[in-house]
């Protein structure tokens, strides 16, 4: 059946396009189209692409203006493992904003989403395998270049906005319409793909920012959707710095409560939450440079520990390795900064992450959809609700979105229509997956979006951080995988029983 369907699609496309090979020219086109072709080349090889069916979706760059030029997005279809697959495939929506869905193929296949359905991956506009590719090394190098600067200092922010200006200069050479890289346009791209592939109904799986994307798509194009699963929910009405602080407070404190509730952790580390809060204030007032060894780098690296840096470290990577968080904080309090400083520096110095994020989409979404709809005052207030004792210098910079007001002034794109902030009201079957330690998209956001999704199933995977599907915990992974597969097989009868079997976090005791 799979081969028959694919060749039917191929034949229809070739008739429509005169069997020509696709070359990106930037010329205008009247209708979107899909052109079969070679699979894209992601930053790192992905074995599954060798057996994928691929092509490119050609769409208008800006649907609001007639005669706009076209752009193209990579498409990869991983066939179902079953010899008798279901007819309704799953389409995967990546995180970020700015991650390329093609790069997340291994995550989806690890969960065996393709057990009995094809899984479709569309590179969102501006991402790595899209054309144009709106990546830039200048913004990506900012984090490494400021490792020895206080995280919240004005000079650090200036370095970031300077990098943003340079990034804008780089990507502006590839497009004259940075304002067209947003979630509303991407939702229309997704619907164009469904229609181009002649799919009557499909299922959606979105992670992290991909949940914002999925909820927007549900609101704009509900007719072609059978069911939706969202994992690590970032609700469109809340998205931005306010949501980031809410999430940080919930996720970080969930880890501290779990330590408190286990006698060995509580006995060894005491009130680790109080220790953390004291260290944030101490190091924000008096930042300290430490030297650490980072794998793959000769010599030692200078890392500045400040209060804002400690907050961001605890959000990520901290909660993702929750078992090590109390021990790392305790070590810093007793004179050993190595666990925190080294794990802070390593990902920022990893060359594999340079030039990969679709910065054009990241800034398009954050500057067009998030920042215009909140103020510095509302962001600070959200931070103060989460952490009442933190100084203003920390609270001004929401985790994962530092210096965004300054950066968005540099990026200079207009605000997107307020419709992008509208709650999604839908009776479509929806699986809402939260994670107990999620410090990037709060577990409470699942219940929030479910208020207008009456046909939803809301679950929280215990003892795991942001995006349960990508957790480093095998047991939590297995549970998220099983729930998702059972949901797509029977959307109103998802089997969530595995939640009770996920073991408690085994905190490191030193």
Quick: pLDDT tens for 338-362. Answer: 999 999 999 999 999 999 999 999 9
> Are 62 and 77 contacting, i.e. CB atoms less than 8 angstroms apart?
no
CA nearest 368: which of 412, 334, 333?
412
CA trace torsion 162, 347, 439, 466 (10° rounding): 120
The band of 30, judged by pLDDT with boundaries at 50, 70 and 90, is low
How many C-alpha atoms does 48 have within 13 Å on its Cβ side? 21
Output the six-digit token pair for 191: 């619907």
Q: What is the mean pLDDT of residues 128-144?
A: 97
Q: Would you tell me how many other CB atoms lie within 10 Å of the CB of residue 437? A: 27
| DSSP letter assigned to residue 27 | -
Q: What is the pLDDT of residue 389?
A: 98
Q: In whole angstroms, what is the distance from residue 362 CA to residue 99 CA?
A: 9
pLDDT in tens, 44-77: 999 999 999 999 999 999 998 767 799 999 999 9
The b/e string for 323-357 (b: 16+ C-beta within 10 A; e otherwise) is bbbbbbbbbbbeeebebbbbbbbbebbeeeebbbb
Give the pTM.
0.93
pLDDT of 326 above 90: yes
Cβ atoms within 10 A of the Cβ of 361, count?
Answer: 29
16: pLDDT confidence band, cut at 50, 70 and 90?
very low
């Amino acid at each position: 059946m799979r081969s028959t369907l694919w060749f039917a699609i191929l034949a229809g496309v070739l008739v429509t396009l005169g069997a020509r090979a696709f070359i990106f020219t930037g010329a205008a086109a009247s209708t979107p189209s899909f052109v079969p072709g070679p699979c894209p080349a992601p930053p790192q090889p992905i074995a599954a692409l060798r057996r994928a069916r691929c092509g490119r979706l050609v769409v208008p760059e800006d649907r609001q203006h007639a005669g706009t030029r076209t752009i193209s997005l990579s498409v990869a279809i991983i066939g179902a493992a079953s010899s008798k697959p279901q007819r309704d495939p799953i389409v995967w929506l990546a995180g970020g904003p700015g991650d390329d869905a093609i790069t997340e193929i291994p995550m989806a296949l690890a969960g065996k989403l393709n057990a009995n359905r094809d899984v479709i991956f569309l590179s969102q506009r501006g991402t790595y395998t899209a054309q144009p590719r709106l990546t830039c090394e200048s913004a990506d190098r900012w984090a490494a270049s400021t490792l020895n600067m206080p995280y919240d200092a004005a000079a650090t922010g200036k370095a970031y906005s300077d990098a943003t200006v340079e990034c804008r200069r780089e990507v502006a050479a590839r497009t004259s319409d940075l304002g067209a890289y947003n979630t509303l346009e991407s939702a229309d791209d997704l619907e164009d793909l469904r229609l181009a592939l002649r799919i009557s109904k499909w299922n959606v799986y979105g992670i992290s920012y991909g949940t914002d994307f999925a909820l927007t798509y549900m609101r704009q194009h509900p007719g072609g959707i059978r069911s939706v699963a969202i994992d690590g929910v970032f609700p469109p009405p809340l998205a931005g710095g306010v949501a980031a602080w809410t999430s940080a407070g919930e996720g970080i404190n969930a880890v501290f409560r779990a330590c408190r509730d286990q006698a060995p952790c509580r006995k060894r580390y005491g009130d680790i939450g109080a220790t953390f809060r004291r260290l944030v204030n101490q190091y924000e007032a008096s930042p300290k440079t430490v030297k650490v060894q980072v794998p793959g780098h000769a010599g030692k690296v200078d890392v500045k520990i400040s209060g804002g840096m400690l907050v961001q470290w605890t959000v990520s990577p901290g909660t993702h390795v929750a078992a090590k968080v109390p021990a790392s904080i305790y070590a810093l309090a007793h004179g050993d900064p190595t666990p925190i400083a080294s794990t802070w520096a390593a990902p920022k110095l990893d060359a594999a992450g340079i030039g990969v994020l679709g910065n054009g989409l990241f800034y398009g979404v954050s500057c067009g959809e998030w920042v215009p709809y909140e103020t510095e005052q509302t962001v600070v207030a959200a931070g103060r609700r989460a952490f009442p004792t933190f100084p203003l210098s920390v609270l001004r910079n929401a985790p994962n979105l530092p210096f965004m007001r300054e950066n968005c002034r540099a990026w200079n794109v207009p605000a997107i229509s307020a419709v992008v902030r509208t709650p999604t009201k839908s009776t479509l079957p929806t699986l809402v997956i939260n994670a107990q330690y999620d410090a990037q998209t709060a577990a409470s956001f699942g219940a929030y979006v479910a208020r207008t999704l009456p046909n939803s199933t809301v679950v929280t995977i215990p003892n795991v951080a942001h995006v349960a599907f990508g957790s480093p915990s095998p047991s939590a992974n297995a549970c998220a995988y099983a729930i998702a597969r059972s949901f797509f097989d029977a959307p109103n009868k998802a089997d969530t029983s595995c939640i009770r079997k996920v073991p408690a976090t085994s905190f490191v005791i030193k």
